[in-house]
Amino acid sequence: MVVKTVRGTSDILPCNVDTWQALELVSRNLLEAYDYKEIRTPVFEQAGLFQKSVGESTDIVSKEMYVFSDKKGRELALRPEGTASIVRSFIEHNMHTQTLPVKLYYIGPFFRYERPQAGRTRQFHQVGAEAIGVEDVRLDAEIIDIAVQIPSKMGIKNLKVMLNSIGCKECRPKYIKQLLGHLKNKIKNLCADCNRRYSTNPLRILDCKKPECIQNVKDGPTITENLCAKCRNKLETVERYIKYLDIDYQIQPYLVRGLDYYTGVIFEITHSQLGAQNVVAAGGRYDNLIEQMGGRPTPAVGFAAGIERMIMLLAHRNFQSNNSVCLAYLDFSMDERVFKFLAELRQNGIHTKTTYQEKTLKNQLKTAAKSNCKFSLILGANELLKGTVILRNMKTSTQEEIMMDNAVTIIKKKFPLGGFRGM
Ligand code: ATP
Ligand code: MG
């Protein structure tokens, strides 16, 4: 039998990879402009890391995590999200001694055992960032700004920012009491998951998508109305700062997040074209997590964006670079001189296509046009003798004879700066 990809995983094929690379480049450039440095943590960790941080009662840990034992019986997990590993690394490498905030970003694969559907796979990719060590609402606003900027810079429009606060150690427990009181006589109307959440994780009932749960939560108290003065003030300040950046947002009183570590301001960025899985990016503040994981008390804020979901929104766009040339040669097979010229072009960063089979000039130029080459370099026996090469503009079909020695300089001048693969 032919071996295929595992359910919920897929190949990112060369025909789609230009969009991925463009998105990664845009993300890196943007995050570095905001003074974030990349961190690369392992794709597997001790399972306990996620149980302790994301939370035992969350869907991610209780249902979706890939957990396995290695040959020595260690319980390991494929990482389902990025923040836990970064917090582990922050503590392990004493990053609190660095200038604060420590600003970190990541791009990579994550794994969740979920039912595969549009916008939901078992291996997926995220780009995310964390600002650790300073409690300042401007960092919340900055994180939201970056999470909006990445898809926007790629040309994705009509993003919506949903904002809320889930309060602090003071106001959240008081609110949860009120919520439980409101739902007390309605438990039997809630879905099975929410019946469980009622005793394990009541806040999560607020963002259950089942109509019966929405119905019963709708006329109850909201956390937004029950924030303490401090939390209210922080939420309003974040609003003020993102308004200043012209970010379109709306307060969503039932917004909570599916991970236990969040505190204070949280957000989701959605796009209506995505259907049921409409969240492109999400994040918020987690001021207690580092202490909870064994570090000293350290405030932090971060976000993660789903790369596949952004790619879905970019399906109609072409990010292919056309900064390439084609070396066509004729009347001889590729000899050492042609081979060396070809290597020189490539060593100088010029994306050069060629053939390794003997083909007619017509055939080679046809391939060059089909693969979107801007120029062809045509080498015949005569040109080789003179040390020249014919430079043909594939769009206008105009040709000029240039010295082989000058080819690199001339071609580099003809390509616009800033092409995705331009060196
Ligand atoms: P959702 O409610 O959409 O399942 P989540 O709350 O589980 O999202 P987060 O843990 O906040 O997701 O992850 C951040 C982002 O990563 C999501 O907004 C989404 O874009 C993406 N993401 C999460 N899970 C998957 C998945 N299984 N497949 C593809 N993308 C995903
Ligand atoms: Mg999920």
Pairing mode, if any, of strands 399-403 and 375-379?
unpaired
pLDDT at 108: 98
Task: Give the separation between CA 303 and CA 128, rounded to whole angstroms.
Answer: 5
Task: Give the separation between CA 13 and CA 33, rounded to whole angstroms.
Answer: 30
In the chain the domains, ranked by start, together with CATH numbers, are 14-171+227-313 (3.30.930.10), 324-414 (3.40.50.800)
E-strand ranges in 203-242 read: none
Mean pLDDT, each 10-residue run in order, the chain (423 residues): 97 95 97 98 98 93 97 98 98 98 98 97 98 98 98 97 96 95 92 91 89 90 96 98 97 91 96 94 97 97 98 92 90 86 95 93 95 94 95 96 96 69 39
Distance 4 CA to ligand 2 centre (A): 25
pLDDT at 62: 93
Pocket test of ligand 1: the residue of 124, 160, 204, 260 to mutate, having most ligand atoms within 8 Å of its CB, is 124
Could you tell me the end-to-end alpha-carbon distance of the chain, in angstroms, rounded to an integer?
A: 44
Distance 42 CA to ligand 1 centre (A): 20
Pairing mode, if any, of strands 375-379 and 324-329?
parallel
Residue with tokens 């290695």: 70
Name the DSSP letter for residue 416: P
Residue of the nearest CA to atom 23 in ligand 1?
A: 306
Name the DSSP letter for residue 388: E
Does residue 101 have a cis bond before it (omega within 30 degrees)?
yes
Pocket test of ligand 1: the residue of 279, 286, 310 to mutate, having most ligand atoms within 8 Å of its CB, is 279
pLDDT at 331: 76
Distance 60 CA to ligand 2 centre (A): 7
Give the SS3 label for residue 103: strand
pLDDT at 421: 44
E-strand ranges in 219-334 read: 249-251, 265-270, 279-285, 300-306, 324-329
* Cα–Cα distances in angstroms (integers) from residue 200 to residues 58, 180, 260, 288, in the given order: 9, 12, 11, 19
Pocket test of ligand 1: the residue of 256, 277, 286 to mutate, having most ligand atoms within 8 Å of its CB, is 277
Task: Give the separation between CA 37 and CA 350, rounded to whole angstroms.
Answer: 29
- Contact of 257 with 281, CB cutoff 8 Å: no
Task: Give the separation between CA 283 and CA 163, rounded to whole angstroms.
Answer: 10
Task: Give the separation between CA 388 and CA 378, rounded to whole angstroms.
Answer: 9
- Atom number, ligand 1, closest to the C-alpha of residue 306: 20
Longest dimension (CA), the chain: 93
- Contact of 329 with 339, CB cutoff 8 Å: no
Distance 110 CA to ligand 1 centre (A): 10
Name the DSSP letter for residue 277: S
Which residues have any ligand 1 atom within 6 Å of their CB? 81, 112, 114, 119-121, 124, 126, 258, 277, 279-282, 304, 306, 308-309
Residue of the nearest CA to atom 10 in ligand 1?
A: 81
Q: Is the pTM of this model over 0.75?
A: yes
Residue of the nearest CA to atom 4 in ligand 1?
A: 277
